[in-house]
Structure formats: C-alpha cells, structure tokens
C-alpha cells in the first residue's frame, strides 16, 4: 500500500501542475497553438527546423506556426499524458493489491479517459465553449478525486474516530454549498471560454447603464454551428452578461462558503476538524481577492493563473470536508 500512497501523492502534485499549465495555455490564447491532436502539425513535438515548419504550414495553411503558443500547448499535453499514465498505474496497482475493482480508482481512470477526449475535442471543435468549460471542470474533479483517494488510503491507517458525529444539518449544508461552488466554477469556466473576463473592467459591477444591456438568452446559448470559437463569437452585451453573472455568483459563493466555514469552526470539536475550516476560509478569501485583482489590474497573467489554481484547491478541500462529514454521519 505504501507504493500506492506514494503514487497517488505524486499524481496529486502532477494534477496541480496540469491545472496550472492548462490555465496558462488558455490565458495565453494557445489552445489552438497546435491545430491537430495528439501531435502538433503532424509531429510529436513542435516543428522547429525550417523544412518541418514549411511542411507544417503546408498541412495547415490557415494556422501559421507560432512556436511559443505551440510549446505552451504541447507541454500541457505532455504533462496531462503523464498524469493519465499515473492514474492508469494507480488503477491497476489498486486492483492487484486489493484483488477487486474499487470505486475511486475506477472513477479516476474513467474521468482521465474522458478528459483526454475533451482535450481532443477542444482542438477538433476549435475551442467550443461547452467543451472548454467541461475540460476545466474535469481537471478540477480529477484533483478532488485524487485527494479523496489519498485520504481514503490514509484512513485505512488512521480510521475516523467513532466519537465524532457530524450533525445531519451540517452534512446537508455542506453538499449544498459544494453544489454552489461547482456552479460558480462552471460559470467561471464559461466566462473564460467565451472571452468575457474583461467584458467589464469597472467595480463594483460594471459601467453605467449595464442593467439595460443584459442579454441572458445569448449569454447562455451554446452557439452551435460555428467553425471557430477562438476569441469568442458572442456580442459584447452577451459577454458582459456572463461577466456580471460570474461576479454576482462570486458574492453568493463568498457568503455561502464563508457561512459554512464558520459553522465548521463552531462545530470543530464535535467533528474533529480544527484546521480544515481555517484552510477553507483562507482559500475562499484568497480566491475572492484574486478575482478582484483580475479586474483591478486588467487580468495579469500570473494572477489569472493563480485564480484558476486556487479555485481547484477550494473545490478539492470542500469536497474532502463533505465526504468526511458524510462518513462521520454514517459511522
């Protein structure tokens, strides 16, 4: 079991790197840095020799080689592929050690295969926003499931103490707050996928008269049938509507998760969690601050990547808390 725990721990670190690289790729407009999949212009790496570059541009005349964008995309693919191999190894090692197929390793394997498909569709469907958003959610979910499995493996060594008993209302509240957070992350992914992050650059909401310019029907339409979604296909009003929705969602999420973190802190002696409420609250405040900084400083790259990464960790921590509470309720 020790080797399995080490593999899962390494996969968690790798998943974090993949999330960071994915955000960096998206934010540097490198999602189509390689117009094909899984290679790049028909090569296993970015073409560099003049002959290879000429061949690549002959294959994809509408996509001249931009080496920096292509490398951003390929480095992300290399790390994501390595993560896939790690998860496949974890699945088979878990099966060998336990002599049965268990839920979390199977879910991880299924999800990473689906993530690979989403990665392919991101390219072949030319950044179709629904796929881009799904790819982001899938990456975050992989991290959360890996952390859950790591906790499950540790729990076999140190079982949850029987005296801890989570109130039913707290358990239900946790799952509801988790659903709110997932919705807000999906809305953030939709904002990014539709290039709406800078649709409003004023605080606290948007420019004067924004209420009259809302267009929800277009903002949340899938916009099927376009050949290319790079740099967005929606009107300024629709992007503004998405952006404002994400801001309002951020305030609601701040209130909901903040309230839940406070409840956890008040119940910490009964549920055996002293540090988790503090960690959840710290991540929440950091995430909200990074969101404000994105607007104030007009989406600086490092800050935007950090906003994406902290969201993934916030989801991971809240998911772990909810599962731990549920386990205590059943014990």
Looking at the chain, the number of H-run helices and the number of E-run strands are 11, 0
Other beta carbons less than 10 A from residue 163's beta carbon: 9
Q: Which of the residues 50, 57, 62, 73 is marked catalytic? A: 73
Contacts of 302 (CB under 8 A, 6+ apart): none
Q: What are residue 43's DSSP bridge partners?
A: 40
Torsion of the alpha carbons at 105, 106, 109 and 113, rounded to the nearest 10: -160
**C-alpha closest to that of 184 among 128, 112, 257:** 257
Cα torsion angle, 61, 67, 72, 78, sign: positive
CB 58 within 8 A of CB 43: no
Q: How far apart are CA 152 and CA 147, in angstroms?
A: 9
Report helix angle 103-124 to 67-98, nearest 10: 160
73 catalytically annotated: yes
* Active site amino acids: 73
């Amino acid at each position: 079991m020790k080797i399995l725990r080490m593999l899962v721990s390494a996969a968690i670190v790798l998943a974090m790197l993949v999330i960071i690289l994915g955000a960096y790729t998206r934010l540097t407009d490198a999602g189509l840095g390689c117009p094909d999949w899984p290679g790049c212009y028909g090569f296993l790496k970015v073409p560099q020799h003049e002959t290879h570059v000429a061949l690549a541009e002959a294959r994809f005349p509408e996509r001249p080689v931009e080496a920096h964008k292509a490398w951003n995309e390929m480095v992300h693919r290399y790390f994501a592929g390595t993560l896939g191999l790690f998860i496949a190894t974890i699945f088979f090692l878990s099966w060998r050690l336990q002599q049965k197929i268990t839920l979390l390793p199977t879910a991880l394997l299924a999800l990473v295969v689906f993530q690979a498909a989403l990665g392919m569709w991101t390219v072949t469907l030319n950044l179709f926003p629904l796929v881009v958003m799904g790819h982001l959610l899938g990456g975050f979910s992989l991290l959360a499931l890996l952390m859950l499995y790591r906790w499950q493996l540790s729990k076999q060594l140190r079982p949850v103490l029987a005296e801890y008993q989570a109130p039913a209302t707290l358990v239900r509240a946790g799952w509801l707050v988790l659903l709110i957070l997932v919705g807000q992350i999906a809305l953030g992914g939709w904002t990014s996928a539709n290039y709406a992050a800078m649709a409003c650059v004023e605080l606290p909401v948007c420019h004067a008269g924004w209420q009259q310019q809302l267009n929800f029907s277009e903002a949340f339409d899938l916009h099927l049938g376009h050949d290319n979604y790079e740099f967005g296909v929606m009107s300024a009003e629709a992007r503004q509507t998405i952006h404002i929705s994400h801001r309002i969602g951020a305030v609601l999420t701040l209130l909901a998760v903040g309230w839940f973190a406070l409840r956890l802190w008040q119940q910490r002696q009964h549920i055996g969690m002293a540090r988790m409420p503090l960690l959840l609250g710290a991540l929440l405040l950091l995430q909200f601050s990074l969101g404000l900084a994105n607007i104030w400083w007009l989406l600086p790259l490092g800050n935007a990547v950090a906003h994406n990464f902290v969201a993934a960790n916030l989801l991971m921590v809240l998911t772990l808390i909810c599962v731990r509470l549920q386990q205590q309720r059943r014990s």
